[in-house]
Structures are given as C-alpha cells and as structure tokens.
Structure 1
C-alpha cells in the first residue's frame, strides 16, 4: 500500500490468507480483555461497552480510495489495535467487501462478545471467522485473559457455540498456549473437549513468539506444541512458526512501517519479507527510527523485535 491510511494497514502476509488488507476499527488497546500474551502490550482499561469508536463513514471512504487506487489483496480482515466487535457498525465492512469487491472477508475476534445476538448476526456476514479459546474454566480464563467485568468464561463458550450453530462460513478456533499457565497435557485435554463442542473447521495452536504484554510469559517449544496439537484432533495445526514470501515491491515508507508495526510488532527479517525489500536496507531505516524515538526494540528468542512507543 503506497499511501498512508488511518484505518487500513498492510497488506500483511499470512500463511493462510495470503495478502490480507487489515481494517482497524478500534483505538489502540481498547479491548474486552488484557491477555498476558498480547503482542501490543497491556490494556490500560478493559471495556465491554460497544460504540462507534472510529467513524465508519471514514473507514468506508478509505476502502473506496484503496479500491480506486488499484489496491489488491486476497482477503480483507477486521483486526488491529483492539477487539473489532466492540464497534457497533463493524458489519458494514463485510457488506462493503461483498458488494464492492470479489475479495473474501475475515473477522479476527477473541469471541468475548459473541454471547450478544447482535454481534453474532454481524459476525456471520464475514466469509471467515477466527475466535479464541485458551482456557478451561473461569479461573484459568481470568489468569490468562484478564477480561472486563462483564466478560465471563461461561459467556465466552456459550457465545462461540451459539455462533457456530448459525454460521455456515469457515470457523477457526485459536488456542494460545502460555508456558506454565495452560501448557500441561491435562489442561489441554480440558480445553480440547470444549473446543470440540464448538465444532470448528480448523484449530490453530499458537504461542507467544513475539514479545508479550507481561514480562516472564514464555512460549512453548515447537515440539511441545505439536504434542498438544495431537490432543485436538486432525483439524489442529501449529501456527506459531512464520515464514512468508514477498508480497510487495513498493518502496517502504516510514508511514507504512509504523502502520504495520503499531498493530504487529515484528522483526526486521519478517518486515523485509512482508514488504519485499532487502533486510540490510530495512535495518538501516529501522535503526534510524529507533534513534529518532519513533520505535523501540526488544530481544525475544534471539531476534530483535520493533514496536511503537505508547
């Protein structure tokens, strides 16, 4: 994407979605949960009240501008800085995608508001939906996800089950493994039983590869994730590792880098792959942005990750 947008970012490469244009409807870190593993850092104050957090007319205008400029993507995805279903009009993005493009739409949600019938109806307009379920009871849910007061584990599970009953599109459940919190075999057996009751088309097993919100949160090893994935059946795949081919040959501007890093803290190698540029060239730009105070760095698993201040 060669020009700056306020609500659009990417296209971001995805192993499953190809080139995914992101749509961000929520101000930074406005979320129903404060997950210990979140790559965007801690949520200052969790919320469960739905509102028009950003003007939908402006979002749709940016989508029209992107389309008019010849923008290309394999999917258009609601994701980004917070929980997208908090936005009262998030369904209008899916309607726009269906009416104005031949691209498929995706909703990435933690699933916490699917207990609300209106949210389920809106979410069902997406071609693909991914929800999260990484706990097995209220205590583990509170420990890992630290939700807003109105959000309970029972509501989460009931909402995701009810959504599956009405939704005919592709439904995925992400299970995020945090070493020492939900990584034991017996804990995952309980999670797997609940996930199976939701009847997803796919189960993604993930872990905290990028720097997490809470210091000390550690990823599980690939070998252990593969062992845990077997508990979830043949629909489960380990998605924690990431490699992707180039998706763009455009010159990378600082605005493009900031737009992506704000929502997806990343290493130089991954960013180079995403933008189709030389890692050496990109590292020089990133180092300059760090020296000027635009970015911060943090080492994680032998790789340096870049993320935005604030």
Structure 2
C-alpha cells in the first residue's frame, strides 16, 4: 500500500458511503475544544490560517491514488482538525472537481464561515456539512469551548451568509449531549436556529465514540427519535452503525495505527475498512495493545473502541 501523509481510508461513513479522507492540518489543530470530540481535548485552540501541508503534496497523493484506479463514494476534507484552517483548502477542492468525477465533501465546524474567503473556498465543494451544538453564547462557551476571538453571533451569521451563497448541498449536523442540550426548550431553540440556516438535510447525532470529557454523555435513542420532527426538514438519525463494504487493501500494524490515529474504531470498523475477518483484525490490534501503541476505550456504543495509547515507541 502506498504510504500517504494526507490521505486516509477509504473509511465507512454513516451517511456518505466509502469516504477517502483528506487531512490538511496537524492533529487537533482546531478553533474549538468541544466536550464531545472523539479525538480528545484541543491543547490550544487557534484561528491562525496557513498552509499546514503543501497543496502540491496533497495533489500528488490524490494523483497517485486516482491513477492507481482507486474509487470511493466521496472525497472528504476532514480528519485531525478543522480543515478550513488550511489557507488554501479551496485549491484542493478545485483539484478534486477538475480531476475526478467523485463528489467532494467538506466537514467543517463552521466557525470560520464569517470570513468571505472561507465561504468562497467552501463553496467549491459538492457538499458541505456544518455543525450546530449550541443556541446562545453561554451554551457555545460550555459545549464548544471556542477560541476567545469567536462568538456565537458570528458563528451563526457565517452559516446564514454561506447558505445564501452556496448552491451545493448543505447538511447541518445537530450534535446533542444528555443533560446538557437535550431538554425540550433547548431542542426547540436548536430547531429554530436550524430553520434559519435552512439546510437541505439535518443529521441528529450524539456521542458514540469516546469523548474528550466524561461529562459528554449520549442522548437516549428514544429522545433522539422524538426530537426528529422538531426540525425542518425532519432530522435524520446519524447514530446507526451502518457498515459499508470496502475493497481490500493491505492491512498491517502501521496501517491500522494510522487509521485509529484519525478516529477511534471498533473491530467492526477496522474489519470493514480493511476487508478482513474479525479474527485477523483482532490479531493486529492485540499486538498493538501489547506493544503499548494502542488501547481499548469505551464510548456510547456496545462495542469498545481501539485508539492510540500515545505510549508506543
């Protein structure tokens, strides 16, 4: 398997099929320090936009991947942090549009959409998925723990302006936390804001993978189901662990460690990604755990997740 520095996957996505990830920023380079982040705490939030990785490097890796005859359902700007912090992420989206017929997806926390240049570049994606977890400044500060230069009014204003300018498909993920943002009054406030943003689709989500903070607990499924109809359009539940078949590519300890460093995975996830039987995946994971490079953690699902331990050689 050709070793990439910015590409990962394809990985099974709950809503978009097989997704090839394009990671443009170093691990946990983000404008937010969300309670529920599956990648853990953000050591220091940032608003500094720069070329964290050279665009030429990303282009070369995409050219190699496409040239090898690989396929995915979507090419996704996501991964270790907030992709719009890369000063030229729009050039990557432009390259994808010009060199493949695979649709592009930008996963963004939407905190930088108040900037005209970010809205311009984001509009180059086929689909953009933004995020909503809070309904006012106090809840924004508690749940998302943003960079000091960010405020809730600007965060929502950027999404409203982007909706006016973007002709592609806009998806809004509403992320809920039990005991923090799932009371009826809070859900109605979130639904009112979502109605103003007017996305094409709404995904209702909650904690499934191990979160940054123990206080981030999953909302019960019955509460999520009852909340769907509050939203316009009716929200889709995004918490089902739908698995997608992936073509086999070489699995080894390094490849698995690289995959779980992007996001914690269950054995089901890894089996689907690498096209292997559970027993084979388990052998690799057990070896990584014994070497101190990986560890088992528990989130809001029945299955444990494997994630990097940070203590490997």
| Counterpart residue number, 1:140 | 139
Structure 2 unaligned regions, length at least 5: none
Structure-2 separation of matches of 1:241 and 1:36: 21
| Counterpart residue number, 1:235 | 234
Measure how far apart 1:309 and its partner are.
3.2
Structure-2 separation of matches of 1:137 and 1:91: 30
Query: Any conservation in 2 of the 1:9–1:256 contact (CA below 8 Å)?
Result: no
Deviation string for 1:103-129 (max 9, x for gaps)? 111100000000000000000000000
Alignment of 1:61-140 (within 5 A): 61-140=60-139
Query: Any conservation in 1 of the 2:110–2:131 contact (CA below 8 Å)?
Result: yes
Query: Any conservation in 2 of the 1:78–1:106 contact (CA below 8 Å)?
Result: yes
Structure-1 separation of matches of 2:282 and 2:192: 45
The answer to whether residue 173 in structure 2 is matched with residue 178 in structure 1 is no
Deviation string for 1:167-197 (max 9, x for gaps)? 0100001011011111111101001101110
Measure how far apart 1:294 and its partner are.
1.6
Calculate the TM-score normalised by the size of structure 1: 0.97
| Counterpart residue number, 2:307 | 307
Structure-2 separation of matches of 1:208 and 1:46: 22
| Counterpart residue number, 1:273 | 272
Structure-2 separation of matches of 1:7 and 1:156: 28
Structure-2 separation of matches of 1:102 and 1:254: 32
Task: Tell me how large the CA RMSD over aligned residues is.
Answer: 1.2
Deviation string for 1:75-132 (max 9, x for gaps)? 1100000000000010011111111111111100000000000000000000000000
Structure-2 separation of matches of 1:235 and 1:172: 12
Structure 1 unaligned regions, length at least 5: none
Q: How many residue pairs are counted as aligned between the two chains?
A: 309
